[in-house]
Structure 1
Amino acid sequence: VAKPRTKDYGRLAVLTQWRTEPRILFSLPRDAFTPKPKVASAVVAFAPRDRPEPPCDVSTLERVTAAAFGQRRKMLRASLRQITPDAEGLLEALGLDPKARAEELEIGDFCRIANALEAQKNELA
């Protein structure tokens, strides 16, 4: 349920929020576990979406988020180079800042990147 521009926002948040509508049902105190963990816990419900929006290819979205969040502190132009040679040009063409970091993007931005990569792939085929 993490939101963009927060430290908890990552690949799991992007992929689950794209496919589902997650919501926290309730929190569990640390004392509920033995041994007592260092982190708080919560029970989360995931309601599947009929159609994830915006539409994109799930495998391409997974590749994009893996590359973007795999090197979290790197700028997108560097982290996306592993899946496209002109990451900076692709991001600029989409109106995205190549110097941004993955946690700054909205879910729709990741879908736009995935769709642009799919379009590139289809042009080469």
Structure 2
Amino acid sequence: MKAVRPKKNLGQHFLTDLNVAKAIADTVDACPDIPILEVGPGMGVLTQYLTQKGREVKVVEIDRESVEYLNEAYPMLRDNIIGEDFLKMDLHTVFSGSPFVLTGNYPYDISSQIFFKMLDNRDIIPCCTGMIQREVALRIASQPGNKQYGILSVLIQAWYNVEYLFTVDENVFNPPPKVKSAVIRMTRNDVQNIGCDENLFKRVVKTVFNQRRKMLRVSLRQIFSKLKNDDEFFTHELMTKRPEQLTILQFVELTNLVDNQLKSGNVE
């Protein structure tokens, strides 16, 4: 069986260390008894351990060469190999709307998009694990007050508890990436209603972090250019803070302040 050639345009870095692969596979044990969807299985180094979990496993792979390899190497999975683009899939159809664990050695260039899709489907993804670029993992797991704390930190931690599990060196991949990797696990918290308009919450978070060095009263002028500096909105105690200083609850409070101001008509 011919090995799959890693393709740069797909961001493929195939994991070669079986101990690391098993350790990643074991991260799904935190959410037992539900099916598993693996993204980007490549040649199945992680898949081989996932199939030992005694659960239904499906894999989604966009690379045609990898799909052919998987069909030959894992004949028991042939009906569960999905040759599609994960980012374009309707995830509610994968397991007929039932919850599942999302996992994988994720392509680094689209990992953020994968997690945004996870957030959009959080009703059926109680647990997401896998390997990503270490820098992104640190960002997702970061707490307020750290320079890594940003858009991904806030949007994901609003709905998931995040665990940074372990770091993976470059030399266990073919080809070796230029950066270190890390394995994380995200498990749904108990939040069902965030306490504000969710779409506006995303907008506010992205707006202020796009000017993360500035105080909120400066960055929020993109939304409220008509307001004067002494307006009650800009004199609120939160406005002298920078975005990396705010907790999730404070971002919810800020979103409600913005929402009330938008409803008053003081917008661009």
Q: TM-score range by the shorter chain?
A: 0.7 to 0.9
| 2:235 is the alignment partner of 1:92 | yes
Runs of 4+, deviation exceeding 6 Å: none
Deviations 1:12-68 (A, max 9, x none): 101100111111232212222344344332121111223257522211111111111
Secondary structure of the corresponding residue to residue 183 of structure 2: strand
Distance 1:107 1:91, change over 3 A: farther
Q: Which has the higher contact order (CA 8 A, sep 6+)?
A: 1
More deviation in 60-69 or 30-39? Answer: 30-39
Match of 1:19 in 2: 159
Percent pairwise identity: 36
Map 1:105-124; keep pairs closer than 5 Å.
105-124=246-265
Give the TM-score taking structure 2 as reference length: 0.41
Unaligned runs of 5+ in 2: 1-140
1:102 paired residue number: 243
Question: Take 1:97 and 1:122, find their aligned partners in 2: how far apart are those partners?
Answer: 19
CA RMSD of aligned residues (A): 2.3
TM-superposition CA deviations, 1:89-108 (whole Å, max 9, x none): 42532x2242x321122221
Match of 2:143 in 1: 3
- Stretches of structure 1 that go unaligned for 5 or more consecutive residues are none
Q: Residues 77 and 87 of structure 1 are in contact (CA less than 8 Å); yes or no, is this contact kept in structure 2?
A: no
TM-score normalised by L of structure 1: 0.80
| Greater radius of gyration (CA) | 2
Paired with 2:219 and 2:167, the residues of 1 have a C-alpha distance of: 34
* Partner Cα distance (1:90, 1:35) in 2: 52
The 1:8–1:34 alpha-carbon spacing in structure 2 relative to 1, beyond 3 Å, is farther
Distance of 1:54 and 1:118 partners within structure 2: 14
- C-alpha distance in 1 between matches for 2:177 and 2:147: 20
* C-alpha separation in 2, matches of 1:30 and 1:91: 47
